[in-house]
Structure 1
Amino acid sequence: MQVLLIVDAQVNQFEPPMAVHDGPQILKRLESLVKRARAAHVPVTFIQNDGGEVDPDFPGAPGWALHPELLPVGSEKVYRKTTTDSFHETGLLEDLRAAGVTDLVIAGMQSNYCIDATTRRAVQEGFNVTLVSDAHSTFSFTDEPASAIIEAQNIALGALVPLVKATEVSFR
């Protein structure tokens, strides 16, 4: 069984002053993935980060909410996390195993934090993982532009899992 895992697609990721690189295109790709997964009756699961009191994704802050274009419907679940690893103390692992999930398609934010940690943990837990190579993003840092970070993450994670562009993801 396959699940689409959307990580940290929260309002703060798409709004200044800290919008992720290529945010509007990332959002369009995430929306398309969610629509296609739902059409194929593939469950969609959302991860929501709970930041600290001074963070834009502190629970209840405007930036904490899932993006309005990427809200769960019906029985779709949202797992809240406090670390980069979407599996750490969230119940996600137990629920995926109980549902018989074997395959994860992963997309979202941030490439060099939560996407990296979640992808690596999913592999360690024995899931067949596909990373959507053009549907994850991050911020630029003083010494490194976001595009270089994303490319480096695709190279590093591509050594572990298949990389697939959003338009080429096969939902089954």
Structure 2
Amino acid sequence: MNSALVVIDVQCGLFDPEPRPADADAVIGRINQLAQRARAAGAPVIFVQHERAGGLEADSPAWALHPQLQVQPGDHHIRKTTPDAFLRTGLDEVLAFSGVEQLVICGYASEFCVDTTTRSAAAHGYAVILAADAHTTHDKPHASAALIRAHHNATLPEIVSFGPQIRALPAAEIAFSE
């Protein structure tokens, strides 16, 4: 199955201010490993960047991809203004052009953009692998970031009504087809 890596919102304005997202450096490291394996297999690597007034204005330093990410010239870049990386973006067109059938999703924030994009991907007919240890968020008053991530890793694969399968796997177990 032809796969693509979709990296959501790993941006300076979300990863640099204190407190940083849980496990931030390790998550970025796992994303870089996934991107390296995807490129080696010829799979598209797509970086999605959220933009909004009040801190993530397009082309601002806060909006920029985090400098620890290993971005390559052939990678794709998608701008979004909602938690859904498909809504009013060119993501579906990029995937269709590349013949992609399955997405590997990682990034920020587990309970918002990662969750919404995972559900939307399945609704658009894509099988999804959620990189279980390569998405993160901040602690919230009602739940720790670790609990939020564990919750999404457990519940998203339980959604079967879209049709395509959603799986959660550790980044080290994810392979990209050639």
Query: Structure 1 length as normaliser, TM-score?
Result: 0.93
Q: Indicate the residue corresponding to 1:142 in structure 2.
A: 141
In structure 1, C-alpha distance between the alignment counterparts of 2:135 and 2:35, rounded to whole Å: 14
| Alpha-carbon distance, 1:158 to partner | 2.1
Letter of the 2:111 counterpart: N
In structure 1, C-alpha distance between the alignment counterparts of 2:97 and 2:44, rounded to whole Å: 14
In structure 1, list runs of 5 or more residues that go unmatched: none
| Alpha-carbon distance, 1:74 to partner | 2.7
| Alpha-carbon distance, 1:41 to partner | 1.7
In structure 2, C-alpha distance between the alignment counterparts of 1:13 and 1:19, rounded to whole Å: 8
Q: Indicate the residue corresponding to 1:165 in structure 2.
A: 170
| Alpha-carbon distance, 1:150 to partner | 1.0
**Map of 1:1-172 to 2, 5 A cutoff?**
1-52=2-53, 54-55=54-55, 57-70=56-69, 72-160=71-159, 161-172=166-177
| Alpha-carbon distance, 1:21 to partner | 0.7
- My pick for the range that moved more, 122-131 or 157-166, is 157-166
Identity of aligned residues (%): 36
In structure 1, C-alpha distance between the alignment counterparts of 2:157 and 2:17, rounded to whole Å: 30
In structure 2, list runs of 5 or more residues that go unmatched: 160-165
SS at match of 2:62: helix
SS at match of 1:162: strand
Query: Structure 2 length as normaliser, TM-score?
Result: 0.90
In structure 2, C-alpha distance between the alignment counterparts of 1:74 and 1:152, rounded to whole Å: 35
Instruction: Answer whether contact 1:14 1:24 (CA < 8 A) is retained.
Output: no
How many residues were matched structurally? Answer: 170
Instruction: Answer whether contact 2:32 2:70 (CA < 8 A) is retained.
Output: no
| Alpha-carbon distance, 1:162 to partner | 0.9
In structure 2, C-alpha distance between the alignment counterparts of 1:105 and 1:143, rounded to whole Å: 28
Deviations 1:6-29 (A, max 9, x none): 111111232122421110111111
- My pick for the range that moved more, 104-113 or 18-27, is 18-27
In structure 2, C-alpha distance between the alignment counterparts of 1:71 and 1:65, rounded to whole Å: 13
In structure 2, C-alpha distance between the alignment counterparts of 1:134 and 1:145, rounded to whole Å: 15
Letter of the 1:69 counterpart: Q
| Alpha-carbon distance, 1:71 to partner | 5.0
Instruction: Answer whether contact 1:102 1:127 (CA < 8 A) is retained.
Output: yes
